[in-house]
Amino acid sequence: MDSTYILPAILTALLLGIAGGKIWERYKLVQGKWVDRRRIRQTPHFIVGLNYLVAGRVDLAIEQFEAALALDPDALELRLMLGNLYRERGQVGRAIQEHQALLQRPRLNPMEHANVLLCLGLDYRQAGFVDRASEAFSEVLKLDPTNEAALSNLEKLQEEQHQWQDAYATRQRLAAVGSPAAQTRSNTILAFLEHELGLEAAGRKDFAEASRRFEAAIAMDKAVIPAYLSLGDVRRAQGDEKAAATIWEQAVDVSPDRAHLPLERLETLYVAQGRPDRFVALCERLTAAAPREWRARAALARHLASQGNPTGALELLFGALEHNPHAIAIHQAIWGLLSALQLPQALVARYIDTTRQSVFYLDPHVCTRCRYRSTGLLWQCPQCHEWNTFVEERITPASDIDSDGPGGAAA
Ligand SMILES: [Zn+2]
C-alpha cells in the first residue's frame, strides 16, 4: 500500500530540488521586485512584438519590446534587437547609443561581444561612418574569424571605397568559410574584383598587369563579360586589333544575350579594317541563332542606316519589335528612321499596327536579388551591391502564354 506513494514522493522531492536550484538562475531582483528572467520570452509583450515584426510593423514591435524590457532591463538579446529596430526605423543615433551601452557591460562572453560589435558596425555603416564601421567589423573578426556577416559587410564597405585589393582578400576569406554551393558565387565575385583591379592597372597604362588581371578574371569565371571587353580594349590600345577582335568574338560566343556590348566595339573595328561584311555576317548569325534577341538586329539596323540603307534598317527593326515590343530603344530607332524617310504612310501604318498593344519601357533591366530596376545592364547593383544580378526584364505577349502554357512562356 505505502509503496504506491514512494515513487511519486521521490519524484516530487527531486522536482522540488531541481526547482530550488533553478530559482537562483531564474529569478532576479529588479527594482525591489523578484522577476522571472526566463518568462520574459513568454510575456505577451515579447510574442506580440514578434508578431508585429513578422507583419513588418516596426513601430508597434518596438513598443512591445520596450514593455518586455521593462521586466528585465538586462536582457541582452532583446536590447540588441531593439537597437537594430531603431536603426531600421532610421534612428541610427539611438541605435548606436543602445549598442555602445551594451559594449560597456562587464562579463560579456566573446560571442556576445562579437554580436554587439556586429550590430554597432551595421549602425555605423548606415550612419555613413565608414572607418568606424570597418573597425567594428574587423574587431568582430578578431573575436570570431569566420563571422560571415562581418566578412560580407566589410567586403561591401571596401568595394564602396574601391579598395578592390582588400575586398578581394575579404572575399577569399568568405569563400573559405562558405558552403561549397556558395563557392561558384564567390568565384564570380572574385572574377569581377579581379576585373576592377585590371581596370586600375589599365588606368596607370600598366597594360601587362591589366592583361594578366583580365585573363585571370576570365579563367576564374568565363562568363564575366566585362573582362573580355577590357582585355580587347587593352589589346587595341597596344595596337593589336586582331587580338582585340578575337577576344570580343569570344565574348559574343560565351554570352550571346549580352552580345550587344562587344558588338559595338566589333563594328568600329571591322569598319576601320574595311571589312563591314564581317559585322553583317556576325549579326545575321546571332539573329538566326536566337530570333528573340533583338539587340543583334538593332545593331545591324544601326549599321545599315549608317551605310545609307534606312529601308533595310527599318525592316530589321520591325522584326525586332515583333519579339520585343517593350524595348523603347527599338521604337526610338524606328522613329528616327521614319522621320528621316519623311514618314512614308505605309511604313508608319505598319509600325502603329505592330505597337498597338505594347507596354513601353526603356531597355528595362532588373536585379534578380533585390528587384532594383535600371534602364540598362549594370554589373553591380547600386541597391544591394551584388555582382552580376541584372537580367533584361521581359514581358511575354499574351498570345505566347496561350500557346506555350504558363510554365513554357518564359523568355
Ligand atoms: Zn540588387
Decide which of 328 and 146 is more confident: 146
Q: Is residue 157 one of the residues assigned to a domain?
A: no
E-only strand ranges, 200-334: none
Whether residue 369 is found in the same domain as residue 297: no
Final residue of a domain: which of 254, 271, 287?
254
Same structural domain, 200 and 241: yes
Q: Tell me, in angstroms, the distance from the centre of ligand 1 to residue 224's CA.
A: 18
Whether the per-residue pLDDT at 30 is higher than 70: the answer is no
Q: Is residue 262 in a domain? A: yes
Q: Which three cell numbers stand for residue 68?
A: 518586455
Non-local (6+) Cβ contacts of 346 within 8 A are none
CATH code at 304?
1.25.40.10
Instruction: Judge if 226 and 239 occupy the same domain.
Output: yes
283 within a domain of the structure (yes/no): yes
Domain match, 290 and 241 both: no
pTM beyond 0.85? no
One domain, residues 273 and 317: yes
Structurally, the chain folds into a number of domains equal to 3
- Do 263 and 269 contact (CB within 8 A), yes or no? no
- 374 CA to centre of ligand 1 in angstroms: 10
> How far does residue 246's CA lie from ligand 1's centre (Å)?
32
Q: DSSP class of residue 178?
A: S
Query: Are 353 and 375 within one domain?
Result: no
Query: What is the whole-number distance in angstroms between the Cα of residue 65 and the centre of ligand 1?
Result: 31
Q: How far apart are CA 43 and CA 203, in angstroms?
A: 61
Range of the domain at 218: 179-254
Position 273 in a domain: yes
Together in a domain, 332 and 309? yes
* Cα–Cα distances in angstroms (integers) from residue 376 to residues 65, 107, 260, 276, 364, in the given order: 43, 53, 12, 27, 6
Residue 25 clears pLDDT 50, i.e. is over it: no
One domain for residues 187 and 229: yes
Percent of the chain with pLDDT over 70: 84
**390 CA from centroid of ligand 1 (Å):** 8
Residue 161 lies in a domain: no
Q: For residue 366, how far is its CA from the centre of ligand 1 (angstroms)?
A: 8
Q: Which pLDDT tens digit goes with each residue over 293-352?
A: 788 899 999 999 998 999 999 999 998 888 888 788 889 999 999 999 999 999 999 898
Q: Under 8 Å CB-to-CB from 377, ≥6 apart: which residues?
A: 258, 261, 365, 390, 392
Ligand 1 centroid from CA 389, angstroms: 7
Q: How far is the CA of 367 from the centre of ligand 1 (A)?
A: 5
Question: Would you say residue 278 has pLDDT above 50?
Answer: yes
How many angstroms separate the alpha carbon of residue 372 from the centre of ligand 1?
A: 5
Distance 382 CA to ligand 1 centre (A): 7
DSSP state of 373: E
Does residue 95 lie in a domain region? Answer: no
Sign of dihedral through CA atoms 147, 152, 153, 154?
Answer: positive
Same domain assignment for residues 186 and 246:
yes
Q: Indicate if 293 and 319 belong to the same structural domain.
A: yes
Could you give the CA distance from residue 393 to residue 310 in angstroms, rounded to a whole number?
29
Are 291 and 224 part of one and the same domain?
A: no
Per-residue pLDDT at 376? 83
Contacts of 128 (CB under 8 A, 6+ apart): none
User: Is 172 a domain residue?
Assistant: no
Which triple of cell numbers denotes residue 284? 545575321
Q: How far is the CA of 347 from the centre of ligand 1 (A)?
A: 40
Q: Which residue in the block uniquely carries the three cell numbers 521586485?
A: 33
Rounded average pLDDT over 258-263 = 86
Q: Residues 266, 300: one domain?
A: yes
Residue 404: inside a domain, yes or no? no
Candidates 86, 84, 78; CA nearest to 40 is: 78
What is the torsion angle, in degrees rounded to the nearest 10, for the CA atoms of residue 160, residue 165, residue 168 and residue 169? Answer: -120
Q: Ligand 1: distance of its center to the CA of 125 in Å?
A: 18
